[in-house]
Structure 1
Amino acid sequence: MTEVANSKTLLIESQYFPSIYFYKTLIEGQILQIERYEHYQKVSFRNRCYIAGPNGVILLSVPLSKGKNQRTVMKDVRISNEENWQGLHWKTLTSAYRRSPFFEYFEPELEGLYERRFDFLLDWNMACLEWANKALGISPEIRLTDSFQKTYDPAAGIIDKRDHMVPGQLPAAGAPEYTQVFGERTGFFPNLSILDLLFCEGKRGLELLK
């Protein structure tokens, strides 16, 4: 068994529609604890996710009120809603996945999520996490940290995976392979956002993660 499977709690930063690798790690654990007292870090999955498009990988990035260079505590990071970024993200998702087998199945609820206004990045990410968990058919216990600790004693049953998942550096080994919408044109892209797996495989996505 893996160290995550033997542990009680998986500790990780908040992410925007997390990657498939995130979910492969999550389903091996029992409790998910989200770090909310760290300082925001740029170039991370905290405000970005990646999907597959007709010309390659597409980045979806949530704009922040103080830009990418802020060093605000994660729970206080505000989204910039001056422009309709949610509408743009939804239009991009629709364009990329409208021909996928399961997009129409998930479309009504997901569109409703993208129509809700969120002021804080953590709240948006948590809503995305809860939606994806429900869509996959999993219900891990989710907790939020009460304070920031730089390190944790493994004997306490907490496996610290904060900042272990970096854009462009996720391991392809062991990633599930499936038919992507534009795969014949672009080739297969591993470890995209969980949305890609859901739209292409539906509930079967959970089986592929195991």
Structure 2
Amino acid sequence: MNIIIHPTYFPNIAHFVAFVKAKVVVFETDDNFLKQTYRNRTDVYGANGKLTLNIPVIHSQKNRQKYRDVKIFNEEKWQSLHWKSLLSAYRTSPFFEYYEDELQPLFNTKADFILDFNLKCLEVVCDCLQLELNTSKSEIFQKTVEDKTDFRNLVNAKKKPSQHFDIYTQVFSNKHGFIPNLSILDLLFNEGPNTLNYLESQTLITP
């Protein structure tokens, strides 16, 4: 199966299930940037439940701006804040220390464009998972694609995925229960080397 999908900020589990099931992953990079999507946000499990981490971006004065052209607003110290939030949420998880050294540089190095940063985050996570993806980038925007399964709707942060995800142990599940479809980081820190097995075992519901 060949898919087209958005590269998002530490993609959620639905995205990664699509990744591991795909033969070829085409990243949508030529569309317009929209607010309230996973392009610049990810959900993790904090002490008070679901916690959304947002990357501030510079919005153009023009009505439309290409995803690939959107710059990060680095006047806000968002990287430090996000790393502190991950420490607070996951330092007691079974595998946080196992991956900490690979992930921390992402929050210590200035990033200019949100798309480039998202792709770098994905690259680091795939290294942690020892997952090799056959990827390419879109060259023009097509509203309808015929030769690929279209998973671009997963970028919508307001829409809940229709598929069911198996329960795994989360750090604060005794407080707030199981929260599905969080960032891949939640699964990685809690399941470690079993993460890939978990993803491969989930049923993928195509759009």
| TM-score normalised to structure 1 length | 0.90
**1:37 is matched with which residue?**
30
Structure 1 position 165, deviation (Å): 4.2
Contact 1:102/1:202 (<8 A) preserved: yes
Whether 1:170 and 2:170 are equivalent positions in the alignment is no
Identical aligned residues as a percent: 40
Residue ranges of structure 2 left out of the alignment (5+ in a row)? 201-207
Structure 1 position 13, deviation (Å): 1.5
**2:93 is matched with which residue?**
100
Whether 1:12 and 2:5 are equivalent positions in the alignment is yes
Whether 1:201 and 2:194 are equivalent positions in the alignment is no
Cα offsets for 1:186-206 (capped at 9, x unmatched)? 111000000000000101011
Whether 1:116 and 2:106 are equivalent positions in the alignment is no
Structure 1 position 32, deviation (Å): 0.9
Residue ranges of structure 1 left out of the alignment (5+ in a row)? 1-6
Q: RMSD across aligned C-alpha pairs, in angstroms?
A: 1.7
CA distance in 1, matches of 2:169, 2:162: 16
CA distance in 1, matches of 2:24, 2:67: 20
**2:75 is matched with which residue?**
82
Cα offsets for 1:141-185 (capped at 9, x unmatched)? 1111111122112xx3x1121124422433364313111000001
Structure 1 position 75, deviation (Å): 0.6
**1:3 is matched with which residue?**
none
What does 1:119-158 correspond to in 2, within 5 Å?
A: 119-153=112-146, 156=147, 158=148
Structure 1 position 59, deviation (Å): 0.4
4+ long deviations beyond 3 Å: none
What does 1:178-189 correspond to in 2, within 5 Å?
A: 178-189=168-179
Cα offsets for 1:11-38 (capped at 9, x unmatched)? 0112000001111111111111111110
Q: Which secondary structure state, in structure 1, belongs to the residue aligned with residue 68 of structure 2?
A: helix
Contact 2:5/2:26 (<8 A) preserved: yes
Aligned length: 200
**Equivalent AA in structure 2 for residue 186 of structure 1:** H
CA distance in 2, matches of 1:175, 1:186: 17
Structure 1 position 114, deviation (Å): 1.2
